[in-house]
Structure 1
């Protein structure tokens, strides 16, 4: 019974942290200006919940309980540090607003602590990678190891980047606010990159769906703040196209399904229609507009075979010119492989992998395996799928890749499924 109670408490703390952690950290940073203090106090509140909730029960307002504990801890620390009374007074009245209240909703339409924090993280004094990584860690609570994988660097290297970014904010006296005028547009690319990676972390095979939902919420809020920015609307459209498949990406056993095995009637067609409306009014050649148009080709096709692969390949050609990266080159190779034949895709993939950035990157190995299979070399393709499985980042991906290898070798194990689309 004790183990069951502890597990239930851990689940309750995890659920509360997804909803409240970023609010607590952002609110404490706003009042104290101290990033480390804010994060430490929020984490101590989570740890205390794990100790007390099994005996006392989960409170009616878990987020409010966590905010109170974190606030009191911050007050204790600041009192010992003899800070000015203003900060202590602000902390004393700090409370987590009831998210269901009309007043809280109205205030959030004007300004949001997390949005202020995102723009602070995305100050031009920081490098682009530092802006994205710091906001993912602080706003989304994304583990450092996962952020490192997104940037294709080691966890230790990412830890050092995060530390340097916080130090830079403190030393430069970067203000905690949403900028106005030209500064708002200057920081927009960094904000969009943050939301994009936040959504990706929630949408991938081993991700937490709450992150995808939060990215969509913040994208909507950002669009209200910057209604004339086409790339903001395009990013929101991209999220909606991708998220429309969330209920169809797994079977009844939780296994991932590729696009050709998904029941397209289960896609969220209202979200797709909203995405199309948003995309209709945006410029065509921005990086997120191009990605949204690629996603729209998938979302509106009746089947994988009916997908407009030449249009997708053209979009990736444009995207590679304006925003080159190893991952974009990888996706470009796959698109050309479907639009113009596997030989064309393999040739582009070899170019993309020449620099070494995609070595042991599971999607790159899996893409080579798929193109190789379509080119006719089933044995080599099966070996590549197994190689990709060996370095996969999640168990669902590993099972899916091994399933593809088994299919190519004539296996009949149907308990595993292919990777998600």
Structure 2
């Protein structure tokens, strides 16, 4: 098989992964069976598709193949009667059980995995793995922890679900608010991984950003009076509006250099309307603040017209809700635009983010603007070492090469 053929199969599989896992978990009620069957379906696709071609309905093909592999496993293991009977079903044509308030398979699985029996970080990590199809290294990068730590966390979450017999039932309406925070975090991280992928594959993964937005829209319909849901959707569409302008000739294009004519103005209008919905409810939250910051950026006709004082003020409000170093880093970038690079650099240097590529990239840019060339080169080198995203590496390499 050529590398191109394998990459095409893997891309389709990645796009279909969340849908496939959700349908298998609903049908067989077991995470391990779902993941093993999905992996076996991928192996079969890698063997057959390069010769026969990608089928017209690759998602349906993968679902059927994975379902057959799961049935084969159930036959082999001869599980308890209920599952053993399921092993002899050639087709999953039984009526669906009532779905309750959440109709979408993937959103239902997302809420199910965000069960209170699991620790908060375990819920997020597990659902990123199952629904986002993210690898353990990608999830570890999102949490800024070692891969081994993240792998153990996901394994423990699966064992806890099995040991506690957490049911794969549809959450009742009363369960939704308690699980909402974890669901919003998952959608946010899935979107971020698609918007700037941490792996060495495609620099932007549109299937992940699109899936996060799709699920956020369903969630907004389900809970229209929850301002943080509205805020998350607003932030996602306002950020997605800039996606086509973010990579040019294989290089990342930072916000200040983007061609704003290439932004999706329908998304921007939708996002601004959603921000106004949040303002009308007047119960500020983290995602609403992030949406408002994006609204300021997308409202400016050019980078020079950005109201940086308003951006800093919004980050000040966000810091009171989320005092994380990542928020502080983004605030420092805005402060540098308002008060100068030396002020911004002083703020950045206080942050414990030496393992985070964006911290090094921010330092590199500020040092460059201050004329501290030797230090800027070192920071660019550290930033390129800390990321695997090809578009980001290309951009950082170009900026470093411009230093004399």
Q: TM-score with structure 1 length normalisation?
A: 0.86
Look up the match of 1:156: 148
Contact 2:100 2:172 in 1 (8 A): no
Instruction: Find out whether 1:378 has 2:373 as its counterpart.
Output: yes
C-alpha offsets along residues 353-378 of structure 1, whole Å, 9 cap, x if unaligned?
Answer: 3xxxx113211011112222333433
Deviates more, 1:216-225 or 1:123-132: 123-132
Contact 1:118 1:135 in 2 (8 A): yes
Look up the match of 1:22: 18
Instruction: Find out whether 1:232 has 2:224 as its counterpart.
Output: no
Deviation at 1:344, TM superposition (A): 2.4
Q: In structure 1, the residue corresponding to 2:183 is in which secondary structure?
A: helix
Gaps of 5+ in 2: 198-202
Deviation at 1:88, TM superposition (A): 5.4
Instruction: Find out whether 1:54 has 2:50 as its counterpart.
Output: yes
Deviation at 1:207, TM superposition (A): 3.7
Deviation at 1:346, TM superposition (A): 2.0
> Measured at CA, do residues 144 and 126 of structure 1 come closer, stay the same or move farther in structure 2, by a change above 3 Å?
same
Deviates more, 1:327-336 or 1:214-223: 327-336
Look up the match of 2:388: 393
Deviation at 1:191, TM superposition (A): 0.2
Contact 2:231 2:291 in 1 (8 A): yes
Look up the match of 2:69: 73
Q: In structure 1, the residue corresponding to 2:117 is in which secondary structure?
A: coil
Instruction: Find out whether 1:344 has 2:339 as its counterpart.
Output: no
Deviation at 1:40, TM superposition (A): 0.2
Instruction: Find out whether 1:254 has 2:254 as its counterpart.
Output: no
Q: In structure 1, the residue corresponding to 2:54 is in which secondary structure?
A: coil
Deviation at 1:86, TM superposition (A): 4.3
5 Å-filtered alignment, 1:8-407, equals 8=5, 10-84=6-80, 86-87=82-83, 92=89, 94=91, 111-204=103-196, 206-251=203-248, 253-282=249-278, 283=282, 285-353=284-352, 358-407=353-402
Distance 1:402 1:55 in 2: 39
Deviation at 1:11, TM superposition (A): 4.1
Contact 1:216 1:239 in 2 (8 A): yes
C-alpha offsets along residues 362-412 of structure 1, whole Å, 9 cap, x if unaligned?
Answer: 110111122223334333223322332233322322221122222232xxx
Distance 2:74 2:226 in 1: 41
> Measured at CA, do residues 177 and 336 of structure 1 come closer, stay the same or move farther in structure 2, by a change above 3 Å?
farther
Gaps of 5+ in 1: 97-103, 410-421
Deviates more, 1:163-172 or 1:376-385: 376-385
> Measured at CA, do residues 109 and 304 of structure 1 come closer, stay the same or move farther in structure 2, by a change above 3 Å?
farther
> Measured at CA, do residues 376 and 278 of structure 1 come closer, stay the same or move farther in structure 2, by a change above 3 Å?
same
Distance 2:379 2:17 in 1: 41
Q: In structure 2, the residue corresponding to 1:281 is in which secondary structure?
A: helix
Contact 1:279 1:289 in 2 (8 A): yes
May I ask how many residue pairs the two structures share in their alignment?
Answer: 391
> Measured at CA, do residues 93 and 241 of structure 1 come closer, stay the same or move farther in structure 2, by a change above 3 Å?
farther
Greater RCO (Cα-Cα under 8 Å, separation 6 or more):
2
Q: In structure 2, the residue corresponding to 1:381 is in which secondary structure?
A: helix
Cα RMSD after superposing both structures = 2.3
